[in-house]
Amino acid sequence: MKWIPSECERGDMIRVKLGSVYHYGIFSSEEEVIAFGLPPLPQYRENGEEIRVLATTIDVFSCGEIVEKAVFDRRERKKAFPKEKTLSLAKSRIGEGGYNLIHNNCEHFVYECVFGVSRSTVEEEMRARYRSRPVFDLYLMPLENQLPQTEIFPEKRRREIESCAEAAEKERKAAVWRLLLFAQKQSFGYPEEELRFRKSFFGKWTCNRFFFSLALCGGSAAALVSNAAAGLDLETSEHFKNSEKAAPFLKSYVGEDPESALKEYAKRQAIYKCSGKGRFSPRKEYSRAQDAVFLQLPEFPGLTLCACGAHVRSLRVFLIEAGSQKRLKPVIL
């Protein structure tokens, strides 16, 4: 879409720049422009009346500034309503209220009249800035307090979970994946149709919109979501001793403090998950150790938790119980 100063026709989508903001409307004639509210200038805001869709003149709409009209590209022309339908839709909404500067403004209004969808570049820019902030959110959930049963996507992951031979393991994997989907909605809010999950050759799942790491240990599930590479590991003494992966690692720690061995193993797991490359080898010295932190949570006694990632200093921890969340204050060791 391009915006050009040009003579306007009935049903055109138009805008005018007033200071640092744009005001949008649908052109009918020099005597009739349909817009969601008068121009956002002090002289039109003094009476305190509710902002509504109204008809005004081009002179009032433009406030003496240059009016631009939208010129659509080929794809947009296919999606746009005929101009007479656009104008009819705009007129039918005269008197409508519910204005919101961010979520329901004059730009949303014209997009709905022209394309049938609500959109605002201001809202999209604000969401992009919000999503680009450092995010490192950890969601923890006792498995006995699982989230409500919902459909798991993508289809490939759902089939993979359903193929588990043991019912208990199937339920655990389903629970942690539902926790992941819940976590991204809370931290990022991406629509499901924007998410593309992919499984690597080495079995690691990734997403096109955010980074994540999952962990299951005993009766706990955890999902870490971030907008930079992230890794997570949960361990308990019992889980560590019985882990097949940890067995060869334990041999090299004979005589050492068991707690130190457990923490070193958890750190290597977290850093490996953060890198997302190759297969995990407990004996390998992984880099990025400076980004790994250990957390202690009174709500999860006996649980060793290690998280790794570029945004680890922005860590927030949430406890999920019965579908609701509560912010926790972890002790970073």
Same domain (yes/no): 35, 88: yes
Same domain (yes/no): 92, 190: no
User: Residue 128: what pLDDT?
Assistant: 79
Same domain (yes/no): 226, 303: yes
Same domain (yes/no): 273, 173: yes
Same domain (yes/no): 81, 33: yes
> Of 50, 13, 49, 48, whose CA–CA distance to 33 is shortest?
13
* CATH, residue 228: 3.90.470.20
Backbone angles phi, psi at 68, to 5 degrees: -110, 150
Condensed to tens digits (0 to 9), the pLDDT of residues 297-324 reads 888 888 999 999 989 989 999 999 876 7
| Cα atoms in the Cβ-side hemisphere of radius 13 Å centred on 10 | 8
Same domain (yes/no): 102, 245: no
Same domain (yes/no): 24, 125: yes
Boundary residue ending a domain (114, 129, 144): 129
Condensed to tens digits (0 to 9), the pLDDT of residues 271-295 reads 989 987 777 877 676 665 457 899 8
Backbone angles phi, psi at 108, to 5 degrees: -55, -45
pLDDT band at 236 (very low <50, low <70, confident <90, very high): confident
Tokens 């005001």 — which residue? 23
User: Residue 2: what pLDDT?
Assistant: 95
DSSP, residue by residue, 102-168 = TTB-HHHHHHHHHHSS---HHHHHHHHHHHTS--EEEEEEEGGGPPPP---SSHHHHHHHHT-SSHH
Q: How many CB atoms lie within 10 A of CB 127?
A: 15
Instruction: Name, in order, each residue with C-beta under 8 angstroms of 84's C-beta and a sequence gap of 6 or more.
Output: 10, 11
Instruction: Name, in order, each residue with C-beta under 8 angstroms of 248's C-beta and a sequence gap of 6 or more.
Output: 282, 283
User: Residue 270: what pLDDT?
Assistant: 92
Same domain (yes/no): 98, 224: no
- Burial degree of 59 (CB within 10 A; 0-12, 13-18, 19+): exposed
- Which pTM was predicted? 0.65
Boundary residue ending a domain (98, 129, 160): 129
Condensed to tens digits (0 to 9), the pLDDT of residues 9-61 reads 999 999 999 988 999 999 999 999 999 999 988 777 656 688 999 999 999 99
Boundary residue ending a domain (105, 129, 153): 129
Same domain (yes/no): 141, 190: yes
User: Residue 121: what pLDDT?
Assistant: 86
Buried-state track 25-37, b at ≥16 Cβ within 10 A, e below 16:
bbbbeeebbbbbb
Q: How many domains does the chain have?
A: 2
Structure tokens at 313: 């200093």
Q: What is the mean pLDDT of residues 207-233?
A: 94
pLDDT band at 138 (very low <50, low <70, confident <90, very high): very high
Same domain (yes/no): 293, 266: yes
* CATH, residue 26: 3.90.1720.10
Instruction: Name, in order, each residue with C-beta under 8 angstroms of 54's C-beta and a sequence gap of 6 or more.
Output: 34, 35, 37, 38, 94, 95
Domain around 181: 133-332
Same domain (yes/no): 231, 259: yes
Same domain (yes/no): 19, 115: yes
